[in-house]
Amino acid sequence: MNDMTQTLETPVAGRERIGGVILDLQNISLRFGGVKALTDISFDVREHEIRSIIGPNGAGKSSMLNVINGVYHPQEGRILFRGALREKMEPQVAAAQGIARTFQNIALFKGMTVLDNIMTGRNLKMKCNLFQHALFWGAAQKEEIAHRIKVEEVIDFLEIQSIRNTPVGRLPYGLQKRVELGRALAAEPELLLLDEPMAGMNVEEKQDMCRFILDVNDEYGTTIVLIEHDMGVVMDISDRVVVLDYGKKIGDGAPDEVKNNPDVIAAYLGTSH
Amino acid sequence: MFYRENGQFKASYVEDQRIFKVQQDRVAIIAIVAIAALLVPMLASDYLLRALLIPFLILSLAAIGLNILVGYCGQISLGTGAFMAVGAYAAWNLGVRVPETPLLLQILAGGACATAIGVLFGIPSLRLRGLYLAVSTLAAQFFLDWAFLRIPALTNYSTSGSVSVGSLSFFGLPVESAAQKYLFCLGFVVVFAVIAKNLVRSGTGRQWMAIRDMDIAAGVIGIRPAYAKLTAFAVSSFIVGVAGALWGFVHLGAWEPLAFGLDRSFQLLFMIIIGGLGSIAGSFFGAAFIVLLPIVLTNVPELFGLPLSVDTAAHLEHVVFGALIVIFLIAEPHGLARLWSIGREKLRLWPFPY
Ligand SMILES: Nc1ncnc2c1ncn2[C@@H]1O[C@H](COP(=O)(O)OP(=O)(O)O)[C@@H](O)[C@H]1O
Ligand SMILES: [Mg+2]
């Protein structure tokens, strides 16, 4: 990571942990029928940074994440991930490349326990086949235990030991958000996309979530793209911020820069935030 | 009260992964299998075995198969009866055309054919959901019903698809008396119940359930929806096909396509709804319920001096099923199995329910 820093054309001030560009989005446009969700948007994400996307509701933030992990396919633009041009692809391929995410409206597997939900995050790393699973003996059992140990690490990290065996549908909202983060972390992603992970949380829960995000970034070096409405949080923890409004990019840069950008101020004063 | 988890600590993940996590559960299951294998064949009358226990076992097996598809993977199927028919007719064909084939191989080959057909008719699930998928599996039912009735080559030119099997033997042991047939079926049920339980607690089962609960999120964590759905169709149809072969060979002995008609498909669906979607144990509860209900309905009113005609009892049966299905779908989608586990949960924590 250090030699990468030296190759940077514009080193980000005072953050030598940050590496080169891992994800480069160029001139992305996405339409749904007549609705222009994203118009000609370009920005990049550097390795190990926390990159926030902000903007009023309907600005196209979630759509942007959906483009990054292959749920939506933009009509125009190029995406380079780790320097390679990405063809149109399914979300499974993005997952295999090390991109994990959480959703704005929690997308947990409601009928499964916390443990099973987080275990599904290990899915791509598990190699046994159906026949080995049917016998659940030898290799399959060994594999299950090896991954269970990893999952227990995630459970410890997120401090959710006591709800391990609870079906997620019975958990309060804040904990569900945490479990969803756990499922994404279990995949040991290189790039983690978080869609409003703190929405609807109280102050204490938000603080916990902030701490988890910073710890993940710090301990595992995971690159994070974060959508968040709480400006205090965004300005506190982001390395760089992209601002969207009506599907267009109106600001991009370090938190302080963005905060003083007149277009951004106008967009935010014009809405009820 | 001896049933509880208090004081049972799991020192390793191996222990926590056991099929039955509470020790009393393990003991209970082993005891049930032992009683079913040793005591029941000695004590039960031929009538009880033939009229109740053998159908119960085979229907439980078919229900496990269907539950994998519907309860675990969330795909609907109204073609279960037809997939049973494929198992039965395929096994029968193999026996007729290659007379030396051992019974076990015939039955497994029946399962394999059902798998192939099941996967084929499962392909629409990659595009369709809910009602549309239900209709496409219904089409499978009608098509296969028609095929066995009208394509003589499939039934070795027997009239209107009615066929029969001769005496059965399993590696030299006769499968003739009621007790022998019962044990033969029990063997299949135990083996497939264990396989099904293993699958649903492993990565395969988690993929199925993930697709069932939220397919977009499943894709985003790298689960291939097509693979998950088609493996569910494959495993489900295999088990259903084996159950079909057993139903034909062991329970009926002689059958025609009607034995595996749409009624059968619905009956199995009712079983897993009442027994519990997404529960292996629920498949047994559902089968027991469906097998016992007609008997209860004909005998209980008699005890109270109100003998019901066979017709009335049959109608009443439909009424009761209909009502129960509505009740379960609204109030307890996890069926009898859930009621059972709620009761068990209470015992498990007793006497300190916190
Ligand atoms: N699947 C979709 N079909 C049609 N329109 C969509 C879809 N997803 C997003 N949109 C539209 O794209 C715009 C941006 O939405 P979204 O990305 O969810 O915004 P944000 O997350 O910033 O609130 C909205 O106008 C929304 O209606
Ligand atoms: Mg959004």
Q: With an 8 Å Cβ cutoff, are A95 and B222 in contact?
A: yes
Q: Class for domain A2-98+189-269, per CATH?
A: alpha beta
Residue of B nearest to A97 (CA): B222
Q: Between the CA of residue B222 and those of A85, A99, A183, B150, B348, what are the distances in Å? A: 20, 10, 12, 44, 37
Distance CA B270, CA B233 (A): 19
Lowest mean pLDDT among A56-70, B120-134, B229-243: B120-134
At A44, the pLDDT band (50, 70, 90 cuts) reads very high
Quote the pLDDT of residue A14: 46
| Contact across the interface for B198 and A134, Cβ inside 8 Å | yes
At A272 the pLDDT is 46
Give the Å distances, CA to CA, from B134 to B80, B259, B268, B277: 11, 21, 14, 16
Predicted local distance difference test score (pLDDT) of residue B169: 87
Structure confidence at residue B313 (pLDDT): 79
B212 has a chain A CB within 8 A of its CB: yes
Give B191-213 pLDDT, tens digit per residue.
Answer: 999 999 999 999 999 999 999 99
Q: pLDDT tens digits for A139-194?
A: 999 999 999 999 999 999 999 999 999 999 999 999 999 999 999 999 999 999 99
Ligand 1: atom nearest CA of A244 is: 22
Q: What DSSP letter does each residue of A64-88 carry, written as one string? A: HHHHHTTSS--SEEEEEETTEEPPS
The whole-chain average pLDDT of chain B stands at: 89
The span from the CA of B69 to the CA of B233, in Å, is 6
pLDDT at residue A271 tops 60: no
Task: Quote the pLDDT of residue A4.
Answer: 42
Q: Does B11 touch chain A (CB under 8 A)?
A: no
What local confidence, expressed as pLDDT, does residue B300 receive? Answer: 80
pLDDT tens for B27-63 read 888 999 999 999 999 999 999 999 999 999 999 999 9
Give yes or no for residue A217 having a pLDDT over 50: yes
Report which of residues B133 and A42 the model is more confident about: A42
Quote the pLDDT of residue B308: 74
Residues 6+ apart with CB under 8 A from B303: none
Give the closest residue (by CA) to ligand 1 atom 7. A32
Please list every residue in chain B whose beta carbon sits closer than 8 Å to the beta carbon of residue A121.
221
Phi then psi for residue B179, to 5 deg, are -65, -40
pLDDT computed for residue B1 by the predictor: 40
How far away, in angstroms, is A230 Cα from ligand 2 center? 14
Please give the tally of structural domains in chain B: 1
In 3D space, the residue among B271, B178, B280, B169 whose CA is nearest the CA of residue B235 turns out to be B280
Smallest CA–CA distance from A152 into chain B, residue: B13
Write out chain B residues lying below 8 Å of A146, CB-based.
Answer: none
Which domain covers residue B91, as residue numbers? 45-349
Q: Provide CATH 3.40.50.300 ranges for chain A.
A: 2-98+189-269
* Candidates B206, B231, B278; nearest CB to A130: B231
- Taking any CB pair shorter than 8 Å as contact, residues of chain A touching chain B are 69, 71, 90-92, 94-96, 100-101, 103, 107-112, 116, 119-121, 123-124, 126, 128, 130, 133-136, 140-141, 144-145, 148-149, 152, 183-184, 187
> Ligand 1 test: best mutation among A29, A30, A31, A32, most atoms within 8 Å of CB?
A32
Residue A119 has a pLDDT of 97
pTM score, whole prediction: 0.90
State the distance from the centre of ligand 1 to the C-alpha of B348, rounded, in angstroms: 47
Task: Let me know if residue B193 belongs to a domain.
Answer: yes
- Which positions in chain A touch B216 (Cβ < 8 Å)? 71, 91, 107
Higher pLDDT, A163 or B312: A163
Q: What is the mean pLDDT of residues A115-144?
A: 94
Length of chain A: 273
Q: Which residue has the higher pLDDT, B308 or B88?
A: B88
Tell me which chain B residues have a C-beta less than 8 angstroms from the C-beta of A90: 219
Going by C-alpha positions, the residue among A40, A46, A89 that lies closest to residue A69 is A89
Chain segment A194-209, per-residue pLDDT in tens: 999 999 899 999 999 9
In this prediction, residues A17-30 reach a mean pLDDT of 93
Can you tell me which atom of ligand 1 is nearest the CA of A63?
17
* Residue of B220, B227, B279, B341 best to disrupt the A interface, most CBs of A under 10 A: B220
pLDDT at position B4: 54
Tokens linked to A161: 């030991």
At residue A1 the predicted structure's pLDDT band, cuts being 50, 70 and 90, is very low
DSSP B36: I
Least confident of A62-66, B142-146, B248-252, B314-318: B314-318
Residue A182 to chain B, least CA–CA distance (Å): 12
Looking at the CA of residue A61, tell me the nearest atom of ligand 1.
Answer: 22
Ligand 2 centre to CA of A56 (Å) is 9
pLDDT of residue A11: 42
Model confidence at A2: pLDDT above 60: no
> In this structure, which ligand is nearest to the CA of A38?
1
Confidence of residue B336 (pLDDT cuts 50, 70, 90): confident
| CA A31 to ligand 1 center in whole angstroms | 9
Concatenating the DSSP letter of every residue in B277-336 gives TT-HHHHHHHHHHHHHHHHHHHHHHHHTT-PPPHHHHHHHHHHHHHHHHHHHHHH-TTHH
Largest CA distance in chain B: 67
φ, ψ (nearest 5 deg) of residue A57: -55, 140
The enclosing domain of B136 has a CATH number of 1.10.3470
What does pLDDT average to over chain A? 90
- Per-residue pLDDT at A137: 87
Rounded Cα–Cα distance for residues A23 and A19 (Å): 11
- Beta bridge pairs of residue A32: A35
